[in-house]
Structures are given as structure tokens and as C-alpha cells.
Structure 1
Amino acid sequence: MTRLERRVNMAAVFIPFIVTAVAIAVLWGDWIGWSDVVVFGIMYVLSGLGVTVGFHRMLTHRAFQTHNFTRYFFAYLGMLSVQGPVIDWVADHRKHHAHTDVEGDPHSPHVGHGDGLSGALKGLWHSHVGWLWETHGEASARKYAKDLVEDRTMRILNRKFPLIVVGSLLIPTILGGLLSWSLKGAFTGLIWGGFVRIFLQHHVTWSVNSVCHFFGRRRFDIEDKSTNVFWLAIPSFGESWHHNHHAFPRSAAHGLKWWEIDPSQMVINLMKRLGLAWDVVTITPERQAQKLIGAEKPVKKKKPAESDEKVAEPVA
């Protein structure tokens, strides 16, 4: 990550927080209207799916295949969330899977923070937001995201991150102005669809790093400490079925039970029906049963080509 990208990223942590605090205290009620709700919803859904469907399931884990234009479009949408350039995001996340909850994990709450309540609080702080000052963007892109580094268009998008951040604020401003046909609507669109949306989206995503490695339920026999957290499922577009995801990283679906709501999976299924996605990775009930806690381990080992447990991209 370049110095400019790091500064933009750090500003994206503090400025939305400050604006959100001021907006709720001063503008709530009189300065929020129907156009602001619409703009907030549009921006939250598009940029959120850019992260969950695009950055995470498509680019990081290759849970499905798609056309190049769709890949680049989702990469752009993901950067509208202001969580860093696409290649850095993917490299960090692949490193997280390569070293989950052990030394080398960029944002584990369980490594190097001490014992007891103090250690737990330090770990939660680090995994939620503290890692942005310490380990964010340090994963080698050449090692962990070689496929994206070798993609010229993806490199160009990655370099344009600061401009895309500007777009992330300009788009809701224009939408708010057009919907309300007023300067006030443009300004409140910037506030609610821009800064407040970025603030909430950040903390939902960071909660998957922190909450979903500390609190919640587990049912699969895996070594890391990932958990499923049901109340985060809708705002995170299904990412909070995080234990399921760590059990089967390449799965396009993170919600593996009928009641585990996974909006990102719904979008991928729709893309498949429209011919925009193919080779969608699914995990059979039999495979899931083999990994349940207390399940009898099969004697026969799986062939390498059948493995669904590793990140799709080699890290060498």
C-alpha cells in the first residue's frame, strides 16, 4: 500500500466516524428525508455486495467464475466501501486464511494480546480496528494475490483507489440532489449515503474480523476460532456465517442451512441464472456431515482436485 493509499484509508476511518456523530446529534429528524434513505440503501447494497460477492467470494476465493467485465465492475463496487484497494484487500484476506488465529494472521483477536479480560479486550480492539494501524496492507501482493497483480486492468483499478474514494462520496451527493432536486438533498445525500454509510459498513465488516472470531456458535471440527453470528447476517450480507466459511472457504454460500440467511448467495444464484456466473462451488450435505464436531473421520483421503478447504489461489 502506498503512502497516499494508507493516508486515505486512515482518513476513511476517522472522518466518517466524526461526521456520523455530528449528523446524529445535529441533523437527525430535520435533515433526513426519503431521498436520504433511498441513497443510503442504494450505496450500502452496491458497495456492500462489491465487498462480499466481489472482493471476497469471487476474487479472494474463486467461489465462482464470471466475465472479466463483471470482475472489474465488482472490484470497483467493492472499493466504493472505502476498505482499501482491491489487491491489498485480497492479499490481506488470503493471508488471514493462510494463518487463521495463529502467528501471521493480520487481524486475529487471539494472537499476542495477553491473557484474561485485558488480553481479550486488546485482542478485540486489534481485530476490529487496531490492525489498520499495524498490519493492514502488509501482506505481499506478489505472494498472496499474484493473479490480480498480473491483471493489468485490476492493477489500474487498484491504483485509482483514492479517486474511487472521491467517487464514493460524489455519487450519493449527485443521487441525493437528483432525487430531491435541491442542494439540501445533495448535501444530506453526501452525509447519509456517503459518510454515515461508509462508517456503518466499516464496522459491520470489521465485526466479522472481531465478533465472528470471539463470540457465536460453532459446529464444524476446524482448528481456528471462527464463529457464526446470526444477528450480523443481514447487515453483512451473509458474511457472519463465518465459521461455515472457514470450514469451507471456497463455498459460494456461507449460509449452509435453510435458515442461515445469505443475501450474497442469493445474488450469486441470480447471476448464475442470468449467465453471469458459472462453476459455482457448492458443498454437499455429505461433505458437511464429515466435518461436524464429533463426526467419524473417513478413512479414505480425498484427492487434491476434490479439496474444498484451501484458498483457491496458491501463495508461492
Structure 2
Amino acid sequence: MSTYSETAPAAAVQQEDATPPRSRAVVYDRRLVGTKNFYAGLTVTVPTLFTAYAVFLAFREGVSGLDIAMCLVMYLLTLMGITVGFHRLLAHRSFVADRWVKIVFAVFGTWAAQAPVIHWVANHRRHHATSDQPGDPHSPHLSGSTLSGRIKGLWHAHIGSMFAPEVTNYATFGPDLLRDPDIRWLNNNYLWVVLSGLALPAAIGGLVTQSWWGAWTALVWGGFVRMFVVHHAIWAITSIAHTVGRRVYESGDHARNFALLALVTGGEGWHSTHHAFPRTAIFSTAPWQIDIGGIFIWALEKMGAAREVNRLTPEQMRAKALYR
């Protein structure tokens, strides 16, 4: 069986389009779909089982401060890899970064074990091209307006879409990434990069405690529990943030701002803002809106490692504001 990172459609790299034709949007190939769905099953089940084990262990023996620290630090790094690396830098090119920033944050994002980087970015670009319309890979609004339809839509947006009988066409939605040797290497070595994100907390736990048990519990909390929480936080953006919250800007879809989600996803919960202005690197539009990903980009800019940071102007915000 091919590795997940090798499931890229074989079509040649084509010219980039703002909204590619749907005929080129997906690939229906039994082998590719089977491999994708196999790894999707691992993505859902393995962190879930380990998190259940961690809860059992916590009730029986408690949780050490080191394990909690490992979980929180790895959560932050992985989350920044998704929101700063995969999303704002690679998917939307909302700022320009030094090569080391691109590589480091793409590694952090891969630690989430949500998908190889090119798969993740291509799927996200496809989502924006058809947001909440037929062709959107994970909209919660395409299963009807009845209660059962809404529940089905939320399930599809949160988890079910990963098992769809199709693969987003990389050549259509990620030709720039296919031309990038650094990103191709990370994509093709997906499993090894994911394993490095598990080995790191285990190694730190073992060295600090000088025990195999310390390495094991650090792996459980800093590795699998951290994955589980990151998964559901990011998946909630595709399900909850298109259903619950406030539409602040006109975006042509159901994207909403949800402050609690913004807090736990590094700023991704300002989703109405993001969908109205997908090229902006900073999602917060008010002093009280917390955007940790935006803070990281600001810090990188001050260091000289990021530049051409796309920011909103008051005129842009007024033009799309739904409330005065």
C-alpha cells in the first residue's frame, strides 16, 4: 500500500486558477481513495483511543506537571504550524517568509497528523473556491435544513468528509507547492515527520525523569492527547464556525466569528473575517480579539523573518461590514 503522502493525483502541474473548474477539482481513483481513507481512520481512532487511556491513567495515578507542560507546549507548536504555516503562509500566501520559517512551521503543522501538507492546503483552497456550495469538501450546509440534515451536515463537516470517495486534485489546487522542493519533501515524508512529533515529547519526558515510564506518559500526553485536542479544535472550524457565531463581514457563505473557538485555535475562530478577507495575515479586527497566530506573524515580522504581511485597512472592513 502506498503511503498517505504518495496519494497525490498523477495529473501534470497545470496553470493556477482563482476558481478552478469542478471537472479538475477532484480525482476519483479507488487506490488513492482507499489509501486516504485508511489514514483518515488512523487519524480519527488512534489519538481517540490514547486519549481515553490517558483519562483512565489520570484517574488512577494522576498527571504530572511535566506531562501537562508537554501537552500544552506541543499543542501550541502544532497549532501554530496549522494556522501560521499550513493556513496563512502556504494556503493563502498572506505573507512572505524566510525559508526556515516555511520549513519549521510546515513541520509543526505536519505534527498535527491531519494530512500531508499539500493535501491539507489543496483541500483548504478547494473549500474557499466553493465555500458552502456544491463542491465544498466539508460544508455543514449541504445535507438539508431538517434536524437530521443539520446533524448529518455537522458530522460530515467535522469528521465525515475525510472519508469521502474522492481526492482533491493537487495539480489544480496546489501547483505552487508541487514545485517547492522543501514542501514536496515534507509531503513525501509525512509519516516520518509525524513520528518526530511523537518522539520529541517522549525523549524529553525520558531525559527529565530518567525513566521509560516518564517517556511513555510524555508520549501519551505530549503526543496523542495533544493530537486529539488539535484535531477537534481545527475540525470545529469547518463545522461549528460555519454554523454558530456571528457573521460580521459579507463573504458569500456561512462563515462566522466565534470568540471561544478563536481562543483555542490560535485565531482561526475569527472565521467570518477570514472568509471575507482570505488574504489577510491578521484575523483580529478589534483590540479585544485574540489572534495568537497573528501575534506570531507580527513577531516574525519584527525579527525580519516575515515581510509583505497582508493587513486589512479600515476601508476594506467598512466595505464588507454587515453591522455599522
Superposed pair shares fold, TM > 0.5: yes
Say if 2:252 is the partner of 1:223: yes
% identical aligned pairs: 39
SS of the residue 2:306 aligns to: coil
- 2:49 is aligned with what amino acid? I
- With over 3 angstroms needed to count, the CA separation of the structure-2 counterparts of 1:123 and 1:231, relative to structure 1, is same
Q: Counterpart of 1:120?
A: 150
Residue by residue over 1:90-119, the C-alpha shift from the partner in whole angstroms, topping out at 9 and shown as x without a partner, is 0000000000000110000011x1231000
- Unaligned 5+ segments in structure 1 are 296-316
Q: Counterpart of 1:66?
A: 97
Q: Which whole-Å CA distance do the structure 2 matches of 1:69 and 1:25 have between them? A: 40
Equivalent position to 1:174, from 203, 212, 227:
203
Equivalent position to 2:271, from 218, 230, 242:
242
Give the 5 Å matches for 1:233-312.
233-293=262-322
Give the 5 Å matches for 1:1-316.
2=7, 6-28=37-59, 30-111=61-142, 113-134=143-164, 138-293=167-322
- 2:295 is aligned with what amino acid? M
Displacement of 1:135 in angstroms is 6.0
- 2:135 is aligned with what amino acid? G
Contact 2:248 2:323 in 1 (8 A): no
- With over 3 angstroms needed to count, the CA separation of the structure-2 counterparts of 1:31 and 1:169, relative to structure 1, is farther
Q: Counterpart of 2:24?
A: none
SS of the residue 1:233 aligns to: helix
Q: Counterpart of 1:306?
A: none
Displacement of 1:5 in angstroms is 5.8
Q: Which whole-Å CA distance do the structure 1 matches of 2:298 and 2:282 have between them? A: 9
Residue by residue over 1:162-185, the C-alpha shift from the partner in whole angstroms, topping out at 9 and shown as x without a partner, is 111222221111111122222221
Q: Which whole-Å CA distance do the structure 2 matches of 1:77 and 1:284 have between them? A: 30
Displacement of 1:292 in angstroms is 1.1
Contact 1:35 1:180 in 2 (8 A): no
Displacement of 1:27 in angstroms is 3.1
TM-score scaled by length of structure 1: 0.89
Displacement of 1:256 in angstroms is 1.1
Displacement of 1:206 in angstroms is 0.1
Q: Which whole-Å CA distance do the structure 2 matches of 1:29 and 1:273 have between them? A: 47
SS of the residue 1:234 aligns to: helix
Residue by residue over 1:107-139, the C-alpha shift from the partner in whole angstroms, topping out at 9 and shown as x without a partner, is 00011x123100000000000000011167x21
Q: How many residues align?
A: 293
- Unaligned 5+ segments in structure 2 are 8-31
Q: Which whole-Å CA distance do the structure 2 matches of 1:54 and 1:6 have between them? A: 24
Displacement of 1:29 in angstroms is 6.0
Q: Which whole-Å CA distance do the structure 1 matches of 2:104 and 2:165 have between them? A: 27
TM-score scaled by length of structure 2: 0.87
Contact 2:40 2:163 in 1 (8 A): no
